[in-house]
C-alpha cells in the first residue's frame, strides 16, 4: 500500500514515523506547507498525488473544514481511499464524504477523530453489529481535562493552566474550540452519528464550555463531594428522539470520570443487551493519535478489495430534542451562584445561552448525581428509565 500524507504536523509527522521501515505501507508523497529538508524528495502538489495511480490512500491531518473538504472530495473522486484525523470536516460533512466514497468504491475512515489512540469509533462499530447502542458519552476533550487537572491539583487559575497547556502543545493559540466545548461537541456528534446511524447538524447540539470557570466553582463542586469535568451525553430514547449535550459536569468523586486526569479521555456506551462498555486512555498527542490513523490504514489494506469501510450503515436525518429531559444544574452568573430545581433541559439551555449575549459571563455545570442534593429525587420528566446500577448516571 502506497500512501500520501496531507499535512506533516504533529499527527501527520507521527504517522510517517510509525510507518518507517514497514514493508506493508509506505509513504510515497507528502503535501504540506513547509516541507522539512529530509522529506524534500517526497514533496508533492495535490494534483500530483491525485494523478499518481500508485497512491492508494490519502491521509489527511491538515485540520479545518475548508479547503480540506474540497480536497477530500477531489481525492475520493480520483478513487483514493481517505483516512483523516480531522473531526471538524467529519462533523460538518460526514454524510457527503461517506456517500461520495461509496459511489467511487473508496474507503473512508477517521478513527483518530475521537478519543486519540483509544479504539472508540471502531468499538462502537463492533458493538452495534451485534447489539443496539442506546446511550454514550464521557470525557472527549484532552485539553480541558488537562486544564481542569492543573486547576484542581496544582491550584492554577484557568488562565495559568491554559498557558501551560499551550506551552506543552495541547491547546491551540486560539483555544476557543477546546474551552468553549466545540471540539467536545464535534466528537460527541461523530460518536452519536456512528452509534445511532444518524446525521445530527452540528449547531443543533447544545454545548457549554469551561471558559468562565473560576476556582470558586471547583469549591462549590467539592461541597457536594463532586469534582468538575467537561463531559458529553447522548441518549436515544425508545421513541427515537435523541437527547444530547456537551457541558461541564459536577461528577461525584467516586465516579470513574472523576479519576480521569491530564490528557486522559474516558468514553462509555450503553447497549440494550450488553450493558455498559467503557474505554479509556490518552485522548490527544502525537503517537496515540497517529496510531489510530495507522489502524485505519491497516483496516483498509486488510479489507481490500471489498474496500468501502465505513462506520455507519445509515444516515437518518436527526434533530436533537432535549424537551422533557429533566436535569439539575449549578449556575454562576453576575448575581452569584445557585443550584437549580429540576429543569426541562431544552428550556434551561435556551435560557442560559441567552445570557452571554446580554453581556453576562455564565458558568454552568450539569449535576450528574442530583439525588445527592436536597430535593434530589426526580419530580417530573420523561427521561428514559434508570440504567442498570453499573451504568453511568442518567443525567
Ligand atoms: N484539541 C483536542 C483535545 C485534540 O484536546 O482533545 C485531540 O482531538
Give pLDDT tens digits for 320-362.
Answer: 999 999 999 999 999 999 999 999 999 999 999 988 776 789 9
301 is catalytic: no
Band (390; pLDDT cuts 50, 70, 90): very low
Beta bridge partners of 200: none
Residue labelled with grid coordinates 489510530: 292
Residue 201 CA to ligand 1 centre (angstroms): 21
Atom 4, ligand 1: which residue's CA is nearest?
284
Does ligand 1 have an atom closer than 6 angstroms to the CB of 284? yes
pTM for the model:
0.92
3-state secondary structure of 51: helix
Query: In a mutational test of the pocket of ligand 1, which residue from 9, 61, 116, 188 has the highest number of ligand atoms less than 8 Å from its CB?
Result: 116
Band (232; pLDDT cuts 50, 70, 90): very high
Query: Model confidence over 49-96: pLDDT tens digits?
Result: 999 999 999 999 999 999 999 999 999 999 999 999 999 999 999 999
Q: Which residue has better confidence, 321 or 378?
A: 321
Give the pLDDT confidence score for residue 380 in this predicted structure: 35
Mean pLDDT of the chain: 92
Band (309; pLDDT cuts 50, 70, 90): confident
Give the pLDDT confidence score for residue 313 in this predicted structure: 82
Looking at ligand 1, which atom is closest to the CA of residue 114?
8
User: Using CA atoms, how far apart are residues 365 and 339, in angstroms rounded to an integer?
Assistant: 9
Instruction: Find all residues with CB under 8 Å of 262, minimum gap 6, and list them.
Output: 142, 145, 146, 149
Residue 239 CA to ligand 1 centre (angstroms): 33
User: Using CA atoms, how far apart are residues 291 and 196, in angstroms rounded to an integer?
Assistant: 26
Band (305; pLDDT cuts 50, 70, 90): low
Domains in the chain: ranges and CATH: 2-109 (3.40.50.720), 132-283+319-366 (3.30.360.10)
Does ligand 1 have an atom closer than 6 angstroms to the CB of 143? yes
Does ligand 1 have an atom closer than 6 angstroms to the CB of 180? no
Give the pLDDT confidence score for residue 368 in this predicted structure: 85
Percent of the chain past pLDDT 90, that is, above it, reads: 86
CA–CA distances in Å: residue 202 to residues 36, 90, 245: 36, 10, 11
Amino acid at each position: 500500500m502506497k500512501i500520501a500524507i496531507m499535512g506533516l504536523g504533529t499527527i501527520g509527522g507521527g504517522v510517517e514515523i510509525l510507518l518507517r521501515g514497514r514493508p506493508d505501507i509506505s509513504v510515497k508523497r507528502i503535501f504540506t506547507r513547509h516541507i522539512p529538508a529530509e522529506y524534500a524528495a517526497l514533496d508533492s502538489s495535490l494534483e500530483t498525488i491525485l494523478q499518481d495511480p500508485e497512491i492508494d490512500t490519502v491521509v489527511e491531518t491538515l485540520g479545518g473544514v475548508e479547503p480540506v473538504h474540497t480536497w477530500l472530495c477531489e481525492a475520493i473522486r480520483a478513487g483514493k481511499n481517505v483516512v483523516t484525523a480531522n473531526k471538524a470536516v467529519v462533523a460538518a460533512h460526514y454524510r457527503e464524504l461517506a456517500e461520495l466514497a461509496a459511489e467511487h468504491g473508496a474507503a473512508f475512515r477517521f478513527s483518530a477523530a475521537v478519543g486519540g489512540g483509544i479504539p472508540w469509533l471502531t468499538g462502537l462499530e463492533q458493538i452495534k453489529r451485534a447489539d443496539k447502542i442506546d446511550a454514550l458519552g464521557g470525557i472527549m476533550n484532552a485539553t480541558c481535562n488537562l486544564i481542569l487537572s492543573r486547576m484542581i491539583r496544582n491550584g492554577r487559575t484557568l488562565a495559568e493552566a491554559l498557558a501551560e497547556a499551550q506551552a506543552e502543545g495541547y491547546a491551540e493559540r486560539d483555544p476557543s474550540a477546546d474551552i468553549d466545548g466545540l471540539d467536545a461537541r464535534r466528537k460527541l456528534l461523530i460518536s452519536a452519528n456512528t452509534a445511532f446511524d444518524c446525521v445530527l447538524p452540528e449547531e443543533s447540539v447544545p454545548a457549554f464550555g469551561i471558559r468562565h470557570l473560576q476556582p470558586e466553582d471547583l469549591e462549590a463542586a467539592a461541597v457536594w463531594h463532586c469534582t468538575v469535568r467537561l463531559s458529553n451525553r447522548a441518549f436515544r430514547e425508545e421513541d427515537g428522539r435523541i437527547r444530547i449535550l456537551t457541558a461541564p459536569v459536577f461528577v461525584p468523586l467516586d465516579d470513574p470520570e472523576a479519576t480521569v486526569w491530564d490528557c486522559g479521555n474516558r468514553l462509555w456506551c450503553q447497549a440494550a443487551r450488553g450493558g455498559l462498555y467503557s474505554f479509556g486512555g490518552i485522548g490527544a498527542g502525537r503517537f496515540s493519535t497517529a496510531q489510530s490513523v495507522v489502524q485505519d490504514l491497516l483496516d483498509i489494506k486488510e479489507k481490500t478489495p471489498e474496500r468501502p469501510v465505513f462506520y455507519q450503515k445509515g444516515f437518518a436525518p436527526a434533530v436533537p430534542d432535549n424537551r422533557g429531559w429533566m436535569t439539575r444544574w449549578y449556575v454562576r452568573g453576575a448575581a452569584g451562584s445557585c443550584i437549580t430545581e429540576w429543569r426541562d433541559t431544552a428550556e434551561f439551555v435556551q435560557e442560559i445561552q441567552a445570557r452571554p449575549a446580554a453581556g453576562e459571563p455564565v458558568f454552568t455545570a450539569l449535576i450528574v448525581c442530583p439525588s445527592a442534593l436536597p430535593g434530589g429525587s426526580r419530580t417530573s420528566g420523561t427521561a428514559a428509565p434508570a440504567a442498570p446500577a453499573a451504568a453511568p448516571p442518567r443525567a
